[in-house]
Amino acid sequence: MTGELLVFIILFLVTITGGLLMLNLTKVIHMVMALVLTFLGIAGLYIMLSAEFVAVVQILIYSGAITIIMLFGIMLTKHTEAEPKTGWAKKGVVFTGIVLFFLIMFKGIRTISLGPQAETLHENNTEQIGIMLFTDYVIPFELVSVVLLVALVGAVVLAKKDEEDEKEGEQS
């Protein structure tokens, strides 16, 4: 057993445990916390895959930003302590479907055969990405910035209380 494999197994366990916890915990806050574990595990896997920059972004955005947004979301809305249960039948159908899906995909993964490894990813990873973004992908990059802007404005508009509602709220 190489060290690399050992690292992978640890990261794998962290990731999967996070996911399973998220599915099985009862409190919403705990679920989000469990998810942070998964995100961190995935970031570790990115590093193993010679994607340092992505790993950093992952930690920043997922473990940081998105988790925090979710926490805000949870706090801004009211929650019954326990998550209401979904019907067994539906769960069963979904579960069977997912297991089948998993099996089929697993089979596919096992028979996959691919070309040679890319060797130079880890060398100046961030630089490579930066060059790529500003040469080949400059237009998508700009577009994404627009998307982000739209999302920002949209989120503000949606989340903002209507003025009329506010007035009504004050009067009542």
* Residues 99-158 interacting with other proteins (rule: CB under 8 A): 100-102, 104-112, 114-118, 121, 125, 128-129, 132-133, 136-137, 140, 144, 147-148, 150-152, 154-158
Residues in 30-49 at the binding interface with other proteins, rule: CB under 8 A: 31-32, 35, 38-39, 42, 45-46, 48-49
> Taking the complex as a whole, how short is the minimal distance between the CB of residue 100 and other proteins, in angstroms?
5
Which residue's CB is nearer to other proteins, number 105 or number 167? 105
Contacts of residue 27, defined as CB under 8 A and 6 or more positions apart, other chains included, come to: 81, 82
Do the Cβ atoms of 48 and 7 come closer than 8 Å?
yes
Q: Which of 19, 24, 68 is nearest to 41 (CA)?
A: 19
126 vs 117: CA distance, rounded Å: 19
> Taking the complex as a whole, how short is the minimal distance between the CB of residue 11 and other proteins, in angstroms?
8
Torsional class of 80: left (φ above 0), alpha (ψ -120 to 50), beta (otherwise): beta
2 makes contact with other proteins (CB under 8 A): yes
> Taking the complex as a whole, how short is the minimal distance between the CB of residue 96 and other proteins, in angstroms?
9
Helix (H) or strand (E) holding 47: helix 28-48
Residues in 54-83 at the binding interface with other proteins, rule: CB under 8 A: 54, 57-58, 61-62, 65-66, 69-70, 72-74, 76-79, 83
Q: Which of 50, 18, 39 is nearest to 124 (CA)?
A: 50
> Taking the complex as a whole, how short is the minimal distance between the CB of residue 134 and other proteins, in angstroms?
11
